[in-house]
Amino acid sequence: MSQRKYFGTDGIRGKVGESPINPEFVIKLGWAAGRVLSGRGTNKVLIGKDTRISGYMLESALESGLSAAGINVGLLGPMPTPAIAYLTKTFRSEAGIVISASHNPYYDNGIKFFSADGFKLPDEVEKAIEAQMEQPMECVDSDKLGKAIRVADAAGRYIEFCKGTFPSELSLTGLKIVVDCAHGATYHIAPNVLRELGAEVIEIGTSPNGLNINEEVGATSMQAITQKVLAENADLGFALDGDGDRIMMVDHKGNLVDGDEIVYIIARDALKSGRLNGGGVVGTLMSNLGLEVALGQLAIPFARSKVGDRYVMELLNEKGWNIGGESSGHVLNLGVASTGDGIVSGLQVLTSMLRADMNLYELRQGVEKFPQTLINVRYGSASVPIDSDEVQTSVAAAEQSMGEEGRVLLRKSGTEPLIRVMVEATDESVARKWAEHIADSVRKVTAQ
C-alpha cells in the first residue's frame, strides 16, 4: 500500500489551527471528498461531531467544501462515532464524516469517514480524495450547489438502534448503573438508552462545555467513575471515551474491567447461546495473555492483529469472525454493529450478566490477567535497535526461560522515538526481571 499524505490509520488528526486541522485545509478536504463521492448514488453526506469547541468551525468548513462540490449535507450535531456509521447506512448516504479526536484533549481534533455501508472508508477512496486535494478547487454552477439541513431526530434514531441490540425479553430494572460520558458525544445518548431499558442511572461527565472533553473523566481516566460506583453502592459503571467508540467498565467492588475482559464476556455469551458458530476472537499484540488462555479453556480460537481497531477489523474480515477488540476498550461485534460501539458493547455485557444471573465481578473471573511490565526506551539514532543481535539474544533468553508461562512483545512506537518493551508472565517479579533485562540491552545498543 503506497504511503498516504494526510490519512492515517484512523482518518486525519492534529492540533486545531495547525495544518491539516485548519479551515483552509478542511474546506478543500470537503470539496475533494465531494468530488470523489459525487455521482455514486444519493449525492448526500452526513456530518457528525463530538463536543469540542472546534467542531463548529470544522463542521462549517466541511459543509462549505461539500456544497461547492454539489453534495447535499445532513448535519447531525454532537453524535457518537458509531452513531454516524449507523445513520450513514440508514439514510442511504454516500458517506458519513466524523469530526472528532476520540480520547485526545479538546485542543486536538480530527476527521474520519465512513462508507455508505457504515464501515471505515476503503484505502482506495482515501487515496482518491488525497489525489483530488492536489487539484485546484472549482465550484459547481450555482444551480448545482449542495444544500444543508439539520437532522432533527438523529439522537432518537440512534437511541432506538442501541435499545434494539438488547434482548426484548430482558430488562435492566433493579440495576443501578453509573455512566461516565467523558463530557463527550454520548452525553445525551447513553443515559437515555439505559433509563429507557429500566436502569437507575447516575451520570458523570455529561456536561460538555467545548473544553472539558476527556478531562479527568471517561474511558482513559477511570478514577472518577470508580469512586462514584463505590460511593453510590452501584451495581457497576461504564465509562465511554469522547466519541463513544470505546468502553471500560467497573464492577461493584471498584475493579476495572478492560477491553480484554469485555471481549471475553461477550465471546463466552455468544458461545453459550450458539451465536459464535465456530468462529473465534481477534485481539491485538497488546491483548493480555490471560485472555488467550481463558478463551483456550473454552476452545474458542484466538488470533492477534497489529495494534489498532482497523487491524482488528481487517483480521476479523479475513477469518470471517465477528468478535474482537483491544484492551483499551475498542470492542467489535460485527454481528451487531459495523464499527466499535461503546454503548452497544456495554449492553452486550449487561445481557450476558442477566442471562448468566451473575454480577460483573463474577462474570469477569473467567479471565486471570497475567502480570504485565511495560518499559519505554527512548532512542535517538536513525536505526531502530530492535533487530540487533544483542537485543534479540536477550529476547530469546526471556522466551526460553518463561516458556508458555510468559511472552515478550518488542515494538516501535508509531508516534514517538520509543521502543516499547512489554513482558507478561504468571509471576510479576519474573515479568519485571525480564522486561528490565531486555530494556537494558536496548539501551546499551542505543548508546553505541
Which residues are annotated as catalytic? Answer: 102
Q: Residue 378 in contact with residue 447, Cβ under 8 Å? A: no
Cα(303)–Cα(285) distance, rounded to whole angstroms?
9
| Ranges of H-type helices in 48-152 | 54-68, 81-90, 123-133
Helices (H) and strands (E) in the chain, counts: 14, 18
The DSSP symbol for 146 reads: P
Report which residue type is found at 366. Answer: G
- Which residues, in sequence order, are bridge partners of residue 99? 49, 111
Cα(75)–Cα(93) distance, rounded to whole angstroms?
12
Beta 176-180 vs 302-305: how paired, if at all?
Answer: unpaired
CA angle 311, 237, 221 (to 5 degrees): 60
Residues near 153 by beta carbon (within 8 Å), at least 6 away in sequence: none
Query: What Cα–Cα distance (Å) separates residue 333 from each residue in 98, 342, 345, 369, 421?
Result: 21, 11, 8, 22, 30
Q: Residue 199 in contact with residue 176, Cβ under 8 Å? A: yes
Residues near 212 by beta carbon (within 8 Å), at least 6 away in sequence: 106, 183
| 245 in a labelled binding site | yes
- Pull the grid cell for residue 415: 508516534
Burial of 366 (C-beta count, 10 Å sphere; 0-12/13-18/19+): middle
Picking from 403, 404, 405, 399, the residue whose alpha carbon sits closest to that of residue 434 is 399
Residue 148 neighbours by CB distance under 10 Å: 17
Q: Residue 52 in contact with residue 13, Cβ under 8 Å? A: no
Residue 141 neighbours by CB distance under 10 Å: 7
Cα(8)–Cα(26) distance, rounded to whole angstroms?
16
- Which residues, in sequence order, are bridge partners of residue 203? 179
- Pull the grid cell for residue 388: 540487533
| 241 in a labelled binding site | yes
Burial of 392 (C-beta count, 10 Å sphere; 0-12/13-18/19+): middle
The DSSP symbol for 330 reads: B
Cα(367)–Cα(381) distance, rounded to whole angstroms?
40
Residue 422: helix, strand or coil by DSSP? strand
Known binding residues for Mg(2+) are: 102, 241, 243, 245
